[in-house]
Amino acid sequence: MDHVPPERRSFIMRMVKTADTRPELTVRKLLHNLGFRFRLRNKRLPGTPDVVLSKWRAIVLIHGCFWHRHERCRKATIPKTKRAYWLKKFKANVRRDSIVTERLHALGWRVCIVWQCELDDLERLSGRLASFITKGRKVQKARRSPLQKTPIRSSPKARKSDTGGNASRIALAPHR
């Protein structure tokens, strides 16, 4: 029997988010730190994938171990109450995930599933994601923005005559 009253259980279940969850935010931050740029939840693709990397023709799906039934994971428990209901729900979730993945593959996308429990080792996950996304392709280092290449003057005072009237755009070196 559930130790939480039905009204409270209902409130708890309503609070479960479907987007911008902590695992999603963590994976997005990790991808961004690796230098990858992406789009979120493309509704034109089957299943509205969590992260779409169009340049790489890659998709990252972030799955919670409980809801998506990660095999042999300690987080993929089955509630003790309404067991038949939950088993039916989990089976439908797994079936839907399988169909979505197959449809994405049929459209020419590569799909990587990141499980919630993988977030315990971000370094390992980082390597797995980078390897999956680039898939052996040579990655060019990001170029610096022209705005980052502002000249630094050796003199602490910049005069308009020295800079052609652009004194406000020059970063001054610290005076020693």
Kind of pairing, strands 58-63 and 39-40? unpaired
| Host domain of residue 163 | 144-176
Digit-coded pLDDT (tens) for 96-119:
999 999 999 999 999 999 999 999
Domain count, the chain: 2
Beta carbons within 8 Å of 161's beta carbon, 6+ residues apart? none
Whether residue 116 is found in the same domain as residue 154: no
Is residue 8 assigned to a domain? no
Residue 108, token pair as written in the block: 């020419």
CA atoms in the 13 A half-sphere facing the CB of 125: 21
Whether residue 78 is found in the same domain as residue 161: no
Digit-coded pLDDT (tens) for 118-142:
999 999 999 999 999 988 565 555 4
Whether residue 160 is found in the same domain as residue 118: no
Residues forming beta bridges with residue 59, ordered by sequence position: 52, 111
Is residue 7 assigned to a domain? no
Whether residue 24 is found in the same domain as residue 95: yes
